[in-house]
């Protein structure tokens, strides 16, 4: 810890030491980051990453923390949040959004501007950066469907624009998962539309998420990916085994949705992991298939 403090001493005003990551995850679970930074600009980010690389300090980029389970011991090294990168601009049908902007705010902003293509991401927790990295998918729309290019800080700490096409992406897969580029902003090509039906879609989606209990307790959304070869969504397999409501410590399978685990009361990452193992075992035992984690487990084992 002393070393990390020395390495990043020059970045004092944008750094916190020993920052509990439970404050930065939708699960409200996670031990401390040795150092937690919130840079204001690409230049500041590049300086931080250069210092980290020079001293071999590991780096983790956190979005809104809505798809991660952080270990109880936390994350060693430097955690960087891009929450200050919140630009939003519209030129004609082209939209540019900073990585730290909430995906839901992007959906609302584009709908207000009379642009169609992102409205189904309304009310989905998470940032634009996280949604690009994960290729988030909601109500039959993938984030990659309207993505035209992504502005990144590349592995040499230079700002670069990467043109993308839908075929570069897959279900929950993006090209950014293969390397350490940091997503700074994303550019979308949308189509003009009347804002009123877009507002209706957003209201319906919000209502549906509320019915499924998405906002009743801390969670990280779907625990397991869907897999076409299973013939049914993972939630249905879990539901058929009566897993709703099952508890390990403070973690519980949501009583409203069998593919969501909620932090019922002071759950630890260990509680969640044990519950996930139990769910996997029951599905394997009954159906002979292996469920694949959608949530990402990060941090010190």
Ligand X SMILES: Cc1cc2nc3c(=O)[nH]c(=O)nc-3n(C[C@H](O)[C@H](O)[C@H](O)COP(=O)(O)OP(=O)(O)OC[C@H]3O[C@@H](n4cnc5c(N)ncnc54)[C@H](O)[C@@H]3O)c2cc1C
SS3 110: helix
Closest CA to 224 of 67, 63, 22, 60: 67
Question: What are the angstrom distances between the C-alpha of 40 and each of 33, 72, 80, 201, 293?
Answer: 19, 28, 11, 34, 33
Burial 202-238 (b: 16+ CB within 10 A, else e): beebeeebeeeebeebbbbbbbbbbbeebeebbbebb
CB of 2 to ligand X, least distance (A): 26
Q: Is 219 in the site for ligand X (CB under 6 A)?
A: yes
Q: Is 68 in the site for ligand X (CB under 6 A)?
A: yes
The residue annotated as part of the active site, out of 127, 222, 234, 254, is: 222
Q: Is 74 in the site for ligand X (CB under 6 A)?
A: no
CB of 176 to ligand X, least distance (A): 6
Q: Is 296 in the site for ligand X (CB under 6 A)?
A: yes
CB 284: neighbour CB atoms within 10 A?
Answer: 12
- Choose the binding region for ligand X from 15-23, 119-127, 241-249, 281-289 (rule: CB under 6 A): 119-127
Task: State the distance between the two ends of the chain, measured CA to CA, in whole angstroms.
Answer: 18
Query: Is 174 assigned a catalytic role?
Result: no
The residue annotated as part of the active site, out of 44, 206, 270, 294, is: 294
Q: Give 115 or 124: the residue with its C-beta nearer to ligand X.
A: 124
Q: Is 299 in the site for ligand X (CB under 6 A)?
A: no
Q: Give 93 or 100: the residue with its C-beta nearer to ligand X.
A: 100
Residues β-bridged to residue 196: none
Query: CA-CA distance, 206 to 122, in Å (whole number)?
Result: 7
CB 120 within 8 A of CB 205: yes
Tell me the backbone φ, ψ of residue 105, rounded to 5 degrees.
-65, -35
Q: Is 235 in the site for ligand X (CB under 6 A)?
A: no
Q: Give 93 or 219: the residue with its C-beta nearer to ligand X.
A: 219
Query: Is 294 assigned a catalytic role?
Result: yes
Q: Is 118 in the site for ligand X (CB under 6 A)?
A: no
- Choose the binding region for ligand X from 130-138, 155-163, 190-198, 231-239 (rule: CB under 6 A): 130-138
Residues at the site binding ligand X, with contacts judged by CB under 6 A = 26, 60-68, 82, 99, 124-127, 129-131, 133-134, 136-138, 176, 182-183, 214, 219-221, 296
């Amino acid at each position: 810890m002393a070393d990390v403090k020395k390495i990043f001493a020059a970045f004092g005003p944008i750094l916190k030491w020993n920052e509990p990551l439970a404050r930065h995850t939708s699960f409200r679970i996670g031990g401390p980051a040795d150092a937690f930074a919130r840079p204001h600009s690409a230049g500041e980010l590049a300086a931080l990453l250069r210092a980290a690389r020079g001293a071999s300090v590991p780096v983790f980029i956190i979005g809104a923390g809505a798809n991660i389970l952080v270990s109880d011991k936390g994350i060693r090294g430097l955690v960087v949040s891009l929450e200050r990168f919140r630009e939003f601009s519209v030129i004609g049908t082209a939209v540019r959004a900073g990585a730290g902007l909430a995906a839901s705010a992007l959906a609302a902003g584009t709908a207000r501007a009379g642009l169609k293509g992102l409205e189904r991401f309304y009310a989905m927790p998470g940032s634009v950066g996280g949604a690009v990295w994960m290729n988030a998918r909601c109500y039959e729309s993938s984030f990659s469907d309207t993505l035209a290019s992504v502005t990144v800080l590349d592995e040499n700490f230079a700002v670069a624009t990467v043109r993308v096409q839908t075929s570069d992406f897959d279900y929950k897969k993006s090209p950014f998962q293969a390397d350490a580029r940091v997503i700074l902003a994303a550019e979308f090509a949308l189509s003009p539309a009347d804002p009123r039906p877009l507002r209706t879609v957003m209201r319906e989606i919000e209502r549906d998420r509320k019915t499924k209990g998405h906002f009743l307790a801390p969670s990280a959304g779907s625990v397991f990916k869907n897999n076409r070869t299973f013939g049914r969504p993972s939630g249905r397999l879990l539901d058929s085994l009566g897993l709703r409501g099952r508890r390990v410590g403070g973690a519980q399978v949501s009583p409203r949705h069998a593919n969501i685990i909620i932090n019922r009361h002071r759950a630890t990452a260990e509680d969640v992991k044990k519950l996930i193992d139990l769910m996997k075992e029951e599905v394997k035992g009954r159906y002979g298939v292996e469920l694949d984690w959608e949530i990402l487990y990060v941090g010190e084992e």
